[in-house]
Amino acid sequence: MSSFRFLHAADIHLDSPLRGLSRYEGLPLEEIRNATRRALDRLIAIAIEEKVSFLILAGDLYDGSWQDASTGLYMMKSLSRLVHAGIRVITLSGNHDAQSVIARELPRPAGIDHFSYDAPETIRLEDIQVALHGQSFRERHVRKDMTPTYPEPVSGWFNIGVLHTSLSGYGEHETYAPCSVETLASKHYDYWALGHVHARQIVCHHPWIVFPGVLQGRHIRETGTCGAMLVSVENNTVQSVTPVACDVIRWSHIVIDIADLHDLDDVMHAARLRMEHALAQADGRTVIARVTLTGTTTLHDSLCASTCWQDDLRSVAVSLDTGQNPIALEKLRNKTTSPPTTNTLHDLDTALSKLMSDPEFIATLSDDFEMFFSALPGCVERSSLMADENSWPLEEASSALRARLMGSAS
C-alpha cells in the first residue's frame, strides 16, 4: 500500500474581469486584475514544494467565454511546469468552462488528463494505484445528478470522485449537477473532490466530501483565506486534509458598531484597530476592505450630513501603508440609525391622536380594511379576526402603538 499526497483545487476563474471596481478611488486595479494568475503561480509553487503526486482541478479553470487566447496559454504553460516536475494534473470542466469553445480546443501537454465531456470515465494512476472518476460539463446548465453513472470504485485502489456541483444548493450559488451527501457516499469512493461552491468547506468526513473554495477571492463576497486543500493518504486512508493559502489579495468586510462611541475620533480609532487586525490576518498580502458603520448613535446625523468621515477613513488606511502590504478601501457604508428622542415620540403621538379623531381618515381606513378582507381566502372568516364586526380595532391598535413608542424612549 502506497503513501502519497495530492492537491485539490477548483474555481480558479483565470483572468476573471473586474466588475465595477474602477469606480472606487485608490484601489490597486492592476494588482487585482493579475491576482488570479499570481494565485495560480502560487498553487503551482506549492505543488512542487510539497512534492505532491498529482493535482486535481475540479472545474471553472476559466471565467466564461474569453476571447484572448493568452488566458488559456497561461493556464497550460503553468500546468506544464508541474508535468516537468513529475506531477500529474487532472482537470475537469465546470459550468464556466463549458461556455468557452477556445478552452475545449486548446491542446493539452502529455501528463495533463482531462475528463471527458461525453460520459463519466476513470483516469488511473497506476504507479500509486489511484483511480479518479469524473465527467466534464459540456453545457453550462447541468440540471440533473451526474453521479448515478459514475463508474464503480476500483477494488483495492484509492478512489476519488471529481465533480463540479452545488450539492443540494448552497447560498448564492446556482444549482448545477445537484446531488446529496447520501448519493455521493453510496458510490463508496474514498474522497470526493468537488468544485463550484466558492467557500471552503469539508462537507463530510466519511467519506471525505470537500469543497476547496475559490483559489483567489475576486470581490467583497469572497472574503478570508482562499486556496486549495493538501490531502495526505496512507494505506488508502486519508490522514489529513489541510487548507493551503494561494491568494495574493485578501478581501475583508470590516463592520464597526459605533453605538457606544462618542465622537468621530473614537470612530477613527476603532477603524484603525480593525484595519490593523485585517492586515495582520493577511500575512503580508494586500487587503481590499469594505467598511460598514452600524449601530444606533447620536453621530448618525453628522455622518449623513457630510462625507468627511469617508475621507478620514481613507486617511487612516493610507497611514497604515508600509509599502509591503497596504490596505485599500473599496466601499464605505453608513448603516447607522439615529436614536429616537422624547420629542420625536411626542410628535408621533400627537399626530396619531389627531388622525384617530379625524372621521375622514377613519373612513379611509375602513375602506382599506374592506379591501383587505375581500382579498382573504374564503376559508378565513372576518369574525375570526375581529371581535366586533361593526367596529374597527383602531383604538386598540392606537393604544398599542403609543405604548411601544413611549416604551422605546424610556
**pLDDT tens per residue across span 154-180:** 999 999 999 999 888 555 556 677 889
Quick one: 228 and 261 in the same domain? Answer: no
Residue 327's contacts (CB-CB under 8 Å, 6 or more residues apart) are 275, 278, 279, 286, 287, 288, 289, 317, 320, 321
pLDDT of residue 174: 64
With 90 as the cut, is the pLDDT of residue 92 above it? yes
Quick one: 142 and 59 in the same domain? Answer: yes
Three-state DSSP state, 330:
strand
With 90 as the cut, is the pLDDT of residue 39 above it? yes
Q: Which of 312, 334, 356 marks a domain boundary?
A: 334
Quick one: 321 and 365 in the same domain? Answer: no
**Total number of domains constituting the chain:** 3
Please compute the mean of the pLDDT values over residues 47-69 and round it to a whole number: 87
pLDDT of residue 382: 54
Quick one: 110 and 50 in the same domain? Answer: yes
The string of pLDDT tens digits covering residues 235-279 is 999 999 999 999 999 999 999 999 999 999 999 999 999 999 999
Taking the C-alpha atoms of residue 202 and residue 212, their distance in angstroms, rounded to an integer, is: 8
Quick one: 150 and 46 in the same domain? Answer: yes
Looking at the DSSP assignment, which residues form a beta bridge with residue 243? 229
Domain that holds residue 270: 249-334
Rounded mean pLDDT of the chain? Answer: 85
Asked whether residue 315 is domain-assigned, the answer is: yes
Quick one: 307 and 204 in the same domain? Answer: no
Asked whether residue 304 is domain-assigned, the answer is: yes
Confidence of residue 410 (pLDDT cuts 50, 70, 90): very low
Quick one: 106 and 16 in the same domain? Answer: yes
Quick one: 112 and 199 in the same domain? Answer: yes
Quick one: 165 and 22 in the same domain? Answer: yes
**Shortest CA distance to 67 belongs to which of 29, 103, 117?**
103
**Shortest CA distance to 45 belongs to which of 249, 246, 248?**
246
Asked whether residue 189 is domain-assigned, the answer is: yes
- Weakest mean pLDDT among 7-16, 18-27, 241-250: 18-27
Where do we find the cell 477556445?
102
pLDDT of residue 390: 46
Quick one: 314 and 293 in the same domain? Answer: yes
Asked whether residue 172 is domain-assigned, the answer is: yes
Asked whether residue 36 is domain-assigned, the answer is: yes
Asked whether residue 222 is domain-assigned, the answer is: yes
CA 114 to chain CA mean position, Å? 27
CA dihedral 107, 109, 113, 115 (to 10 degrees): 0
Is the backbone of residue 62 left (phi > 0), alpha (psi -120 to 50) or beta?
A: beta
Asked whether residue 368 is domain-assigned, the answer is: yes
In angstroms and rounded to an integer, the radius of gyration of the C-alpha atoms of the chain is: 29
Asked whether residue 339 is domain-assigned, the answer is: no
Quick one: 136 and 278 in the same domain? Answer: no
Residue 134 backbone phi and psi in degrees, to 5 = -175, 175
pLDDT of residue 389: 43
- Weakest mean pLDDT among 2-6, 25-29, 161-165, 339-343: 339-343
Quick one: 297 and 389 in the same domain? Answer: no
Taking the C-alpha atoms of residue 10 and residue 272, their distance in angstroms, rounded to an integer, is: 35
Taking the C-alpha atoms of residue 352 and residue 266, their distance in angstroms, rounded to an integer, is: 38
CATH code of the domain in which 72 resides: 3.60.21.10
Helices (H), 85-240: 101-105, 181-185
